[in-house]
Amino acid sequence: MDTENLYYFEKAPITKAVAHFAVPMMLGTSMNVIYSILNAYFLGTLHNTAMLTALALTLPLFAIIMALGNLVGIGSGTYISRLLGEHKYDEVKQVSSFAFYSSLVLGLLVMAVGLPLIGPILHSLGATPDSYGFTKDYVTVMLIGAPFVVLFFTLENMVRSEGAAIVSMIGMMLSVVVNILLDALVIFVLHWGVIGVASATVVANMVASAYYAFHMGYKSQFLTVSFKWFKATKDILSNVFKIGVPVFIMSVFLGAMSLIFNLFLIEYGDAAVAAYGISSRLLQFPEFILMGLCEGVVPLIAFSFTADKLRMKHTIGFTVKAMAAMAAVFGIVVYLISDHLIGLFTRDPQMIQMGSYILHVTFLSLFISGLTTLFMGIFQATAQGTAAFVMSIIQGVTLIPVLFFANRTNGFHGVVWSLVIADAAAFLVGAAMLYALRHKLQPELESLVH
């Protein structure tokens, strides 16, 4: 491993090490959220609610495609970080080659299976008569581009796993910058609307994937895209999928939850769906900042788990404190200017009122949802597959019955509050499992749970 990354993994002060790993990830994820917000803003300038509705309805599909990338990427990435901690460098090359080619195959399977089933997919997404054509355009392009989207999320995790946090950030920012430039071109110059927005996303992921592949092939000391290192041994499959599968399930559940949530909101009109689409994008900014912090430190936690467990304990403790401070700042800002934030995307008073209300409610669970993400990262980094699996399903298992009950008893308000209840349930389960595992993971977690 190169000297700089080894220093941050093993010797740098905790604050400096966390900043090295987490800040680039936080900047990269925040850029992705800014893109998502600008995406909605660009379409909003066309003053077509059906387009914004289509954009919201297709979020579950993108979540599933992203989940396949994370299935391979996070599973392989955490394994690579642990292998680096044990100085098993040949195994690192084998895992990275496996991740590269398997993610391409998964993307091709999505395209091959999805395109013939586009009708049922549109129906399951809940496309309304007004938004059906726009939704079909977006879904078609995303399915064609699935191999590059899956590859992007896989390779970003690969690069980050070896400690190359700056390279990871540059790739994410490259994707965002290309996306924004192409969005402006296809909407304001070519007037392609939704199909242009989807095409811009695919091309941006393709460009970023090429950047990551170049780094792995020519710059990285241990990662590789060479097929000669490809191996799919029982050991590799076991270590990758015992963490990757729970991540995939969680992502699918999140996509399914978004889908089900949209289906409930449709009952209250297209304005409610569009308002949720806008508010959820705004909420993504602080959520992804906290997620960037949690995901950024996962390689450090995984490396320390095999090399220096006491360092892992200090890393987790500092991360919790930083998360609490950021959640407080974001919460204050949103409660002061939520109406103005929603007003950037629409002039519809009903959408502004609904979107502001959704923001106020969902921000209540920002900190606990951040802790839940950290719990999941700890379980991934320490190869606790069962705990990761439970975390991956608990929120979805909670949300679905709560949605049905809350919708029947409190209507629109109940639907919105169900998100907070599901977040709280996931947090409580994660905290309980962390407490139960404290002896197994001593000494690094004991002080965190007491």
Q: What is the pLDDT of residue 103?
A: 93
Q: Left, alpha or beta for 194 (phi > 0: left; psi -120 to 50: alpha)?
A: alpha
Q: What are the domain boundaries of the chain? A: 3-449
* Per-residue tokens: 429: 């389960």
d(Cα 439, Cα 20) in Å, to the nearest integer? 30
Lowest mean pLDDT among 44-48, 95-99, 105-109, 228-232: 44-48
* pLDDT tens sequence across 167-188: 888 998 898 889 889 988 988 8
User: 322-353 burial string, b = 16+ CB within 10 Å, else e?
Assistant: bbeebbeebbeebeeebeebbbebbebeebbe
Q: Output the pLDDT for position 447.
A: 46
User: Per-residue pLDDT for 110 more than 90?
Assistant: yes
Highest mean pLDDT among 108-112, 262-266, 370-374: 108-112
Mean pLDDT for the stretch of residues 75-87: 84
Structure confidence by residue, pLDDT tens digits, 409-437: 888 888 888 888 888 888 898 888 888 87
In order of 55, 71, 99, the CA distances from 106 in angstroms are 24, 10, 10
Q: What angle do CA 439, 441, 444 make, to 5 degrees?
A: 110
Q: Is the dihedral of CA 246, 251, 253, 254 positive or negative?
A: positive
The pTM (predicted TM-score) of the whole model is 0.72
